Amino acid sequence: MKDLKAVWIMTKLFTLRFFRDKIALFFTLVFPLIFLVIFGFIFGGNDSPSFKVALINKSDTEFSKTFIEETKKGEVFKFTETDFDSAKEKLGRGEFDAILELPESFGILNENQHPSGKLITYYDPGDEQLSASFNAVLQGVLDRINAEFVRVEKPLTQESKPIQTANLTRFDYTLAGLLGFSILGLGIFSMSEGFTVDKKTGALRRMRVAPIRAWQLIMATALNRIFVGMISVAFLFIAALLIFDFNMRGDYFNFTLFTIIGTVCIFGFGMAIAGWAKDANQAAPLTQILTLPMMFLSGIFFPTFLMPGWLQNITQFVPLTPIVDGLRMILTEGKTLLDLGPQLAVIGVWTLVIYFIAFRVFRWE
């Protein structure tokens, strides 16, 4: 009981010290929130295509004026009238997605008294996919206009039917990655930085004289990080609900419990680095070596299914991948812990391995 009481006392002291550290509060609570807001506005907008188009209008016909006015009413094309040289320069810098030119003959009435003419579009050959999307959408507009003037019976047609889906936004899928990034930063970056400072100031050496055992220190620090981590995740989650109208599909019990499990696992990596490193010069490079692969191979910034098949097989065993996947499945698909057996198995193996290493390499100074 005395040993556990010491753990509880240290946990309270570590937590009080954390809340007195304004810099730690900023990078733990405010910085991830700023990160979420930025990504929220990037991925939380309308999913419909939108193109920034440089417009070069050489036509004075009534139809060309009507065509521009009607096309501007939608949110697909955002026109900026300019000259060709300026448009070409900005297209090369990515400020425009395409250039649309209306020649002098565009909109002139033909023998059937129908507006006629040909639009000219210019695009950057380095972005074929964007140009193909732009031309397809523009051709759809022209097809609708042509259908009003010329009625043609088409032998081959297409029927489109709605189907019920999860009706989730891109931000709903992105939130799990942002939560994983927050857990990663708290568990590794802040842990490795804080412990090395305590070694440098001799705080750990004084704890050892107390005497305090290594397992008590690690457990107390783990409990402190779990508590702080849950506060950080709660801040992000509440912001997602209030600002971006996040669509929660799972239940909060499974979400909370899985977040704790993931935090405990990732914290072990920070503990191993902090326990082994004598100072920040040793901790910093090792931290980068461990965190960079997790950031880019765990589905934080983009989904893993976009990666090559062989790389997807590898990413399944990256420590952060099952955490992000599990959070995403709970948040967007309503899964429970019983449905996350593969993810929990990988997390469990990593937790056992990394804590064994953390206890073995721990140094008081």
**Which tens digits make up the pLDDT trace of 317-360?**
888 999 999 998 898 888 899 999 999 999 999 999 998 888 88
Q: What is the pLDDT of residues 42-63, one digit of tens each?
A: 665 555 567 888 888 888 888 8
Distance CA 362, CA 365 (A): 9
Q: Are 288 and 208 in contact (CB under 8 A)?
A: no
Q: What is the pLDDT of residues 80-111, one digit of tens each?
A: 888 888 888 888 777 888 888 888 888 888 77
Backbone angles phi and psi of 118, in degrees to 5: -130, 130
Q: What is the DSSP letter of 108?
A: E
Q: What is the pLDDT of residues 188-219, one digit of tens each?
A: 766 666 666 666 666 666 666 667 776 777 77
Q: Are 270 and 184 in contact (CB under 8 A)?
A: no
Distances (CA, A) of 198 to 17, 155, 191: 12, 78, 11
Domains of the chain plus CATH, in order, are 2-44+169-361 (no CATH), 51-149 (3.40.190)
Distance CA 140, CA 27 (A): 48
CB atoms within 10 A of CB 77: 22
Is 0.85 surpassed by the pTM of this model? no
